[in-house]
Amino acid sequence: MRAVLSSILALAAVLITWASAPAENYPSKPITLVVPAAPGGVTDVIARAVGQRLGASLGQAVVVENKPGAANQLAAEWVAHSPPDGHTLLVSPEATFVINPYLFAKLPYDPIKDFVPVSGLIGIHQALIANPSLPLHDVAELIALAKREPGALNYGTYGLGSTGHLNMEMFANAAGVKLTAIHYKGATPALSDVIAGTIQLMFISIGSAVQPWQGGRVHLLAVGSKERSARLPEIPTVAESGLPGFEASSWFGLFAPAGTPPPIVERLNALTQGILAERQLREKLLDPQFFEPMTGSPTDFAAFIKRDTEKWRRAIHTAAVKIE
């Protein structure tokens, strides 16, 4: 009888240890950060910068795997079906979670059920730039011009349904003007065309707008953040230029497949937050590129995503963007 009892206890002890082993032995092999974009883009740069430091903290190699395609769907699907042991993570822009569900009739993944938000990484605000040939220096002048010639002004986007597209539509809606969208494959060709004068306007991340603006190639009309940027104090926000409450933003976050043990999620969150607070990272990468680190626990992040989802749902509805 005693033998049976002690065996059961021993077995229970083993089982409990075995069940909790994954969290304690984490990470037991190299970690893969899946990036739904080709190497070199913002998502990729963030993933590599964070991943390198994460690997140093965890003592395991962190490998970035690029899986571009199908508007982030391929990468999301891949991670959603990966084993939830914390060794496969997704670094993704907001589109995958808050925009895609409203853009596409069906997705090969469920943005809520298939993933666990681990941590917000960075947020970006977008700036409104214009080609210098137009006599525009601020938002008020732009709105006036747009009202005089409805539909005449062309703006560039980096894709149908992209944040650049939706933000501009929200802007036009709030300002009561009509602008014509011209879609490009990516931000770079669109920016080139604004500089060349082929198109007149676009919303682009502040980090990408600063250098052309300083070089005199574009006019920086306003920034889409809630408050003026500390490093660009002379540029007004769109909100204070006549469209109160307007915000043109975009964010990137770290996600794990649903079912990843909470201790692992918490640990990753703590490490990531620590990395984002590192002075060296801020000075080298975040500040020069106007990346704003996102703080908060996994629960905070999840709540943020929920709020943001609603915002984009309304934006897509307003913009009447639909994929045929």
Partner 1 sequence: MASLDSALRALIRKRDFYAGGLMLIIGCGVALKGLSYRSGTLMHMGPGFLPTALGAILALLGVAIAIAGTSAESAESDERILPEHPQWWGWLCILAGPVLFIVCGRYFGMIPGTFACVFIAALGDRTATLKSSFVLAVVVTIFGVALFSYFLQIPMPILTWKVGS
Partner 2 sequence: MISTALTDLWYGFGVALEPHNLMWCFIGVLVGNMVGVLPGMGPLATISILLPLTFAIKPVGAILMLAGVMYGAQYGGAICSILLNLPCHPPHAVTCLDGFPLTKQGRGGVALGITVLASFVGASWGITEMIFLSPLLVRAALEFGPAEVCSLMLLGLLAGSTLARGSPLKGVAMTVLGLILGSVGTDLEFGSERYTFGLAELDDGIALVALALGLFGIAEFMNSINQVAPINTRYTNVSLRDMRPTRADLKRSIFPMLRGTLVGSLCSLIPGTGPTIASFVAYATEKKISKTPERFGTGMLEGVACPEASTHSSVQGDFIPTMSLGIPGDAVMALLLGALMIQGIVPGPQLISQHPDIFWGLVASFWIGNILLVLLNVPLIGIWVKMLAIPYRYLYPSALFFVCIGVYAANNDMFQVGEVVVIGAFGYLLLRLGFHPAPVLLGFVLGPRFEENFRRAMLISRGDLGVFVERPISAAFIAVCLLLIGTQIYFRLRGAKTPVAMVENAPVQLAE
> Which positions lie near partner 2, rule CB under 8 A?
38-41, 44-45, 48-49, 52, 64-71, 73-74, 77, 103, 108, 154, 159-161, 180, 182-185, 188-189, 191-193, 195-199, 210-212, 214-215, 217, 283-285, 288-289, 322-324
- Give the one residue of 21, 63, 152, 258 binding partner 1; rule: CB under 8 A: 63
**Binding partner of residue 81 among partner 2, partner 1, none, CB under 5 to 8 Å per kind?**
partner 1
Q: Indicate which of partner 1, partner 2, none lies near residue 289 (CB less than 5 to 8 Å, by partner kind).
A: partner 2
50 binds, among partner 2, partner 1, none (CB under 5 to 8 A by kind): none
CA diameter of the chain = 93
* Cα–Cα distance for residue pair 155/160, rounded to 1 Å: 12
Q: Which does 188 bind (CB under 5 to 8 A by kind): partner 1, partner 2, none?
A: partner 2
Alpha carbons 121 and 247: distance in angstroms, whole number: 19
Residue 104 DSSP class: S
The secondary structure of 14-32, three-state, reads: HHHHHHHHHHHCCCCCCEE
Counting Cβ atoms within 10 Å, is residue 255 exposed (0-12), middle (13-18) or buried (19+)? buried
Among 3, 4, 245, 324, binds partner 1 (CB under 8 A): 324
3-class DSSP state for residue 153? coil
Choosing from 65, 110, 149, 310, the residue that interacts with partner 1 (CB under 8 A) is: 65
- The only residue of 26, 31, 32, 84 in contact with partner 1, by rule CB under 8 A: 32
Q: How far is the CB of 104 from partner 1 (least distance, A)?
A: 16
Q: Letter for the amino acid at 65?
A: E
Write down the least CB distance from residue 67 to partner 2, Å.
6
Beta carbons within 10 angstroms of residue 262's beta carbon: 10
Q: Is 43 in the site for partner 1 (CB under 8 A)?
A: no
Tokens 């060349």 appear where? 196
DSSP code for 237: B
Which residues are registered as beta bridge partners of 244?
none
Q: Are 75 and 285 in contact (CB under 8 A)?
A: no
Lookup: tokens for 218: 């574009």
Contact pick of 39, 40, 83, 150 for partner 1 (by CB under 8 A): 83
**Partner whose footprint covers residue 296, from partner 2, partner 1, none (CB < 5 to 8 Å by kind):** none
- Per partner kind, with CB cut-offs from 5 to 8 A, the member of partner 2, partner 1, none near residue 7 is none
3-state secondary structure of 242: coil
How many residues sit close enough to partner 1 to count as binding (CB under 8 A)? 6
Binding site for partner 1 (CB under 8 A): 32, 63, 65, 81, 83, 324
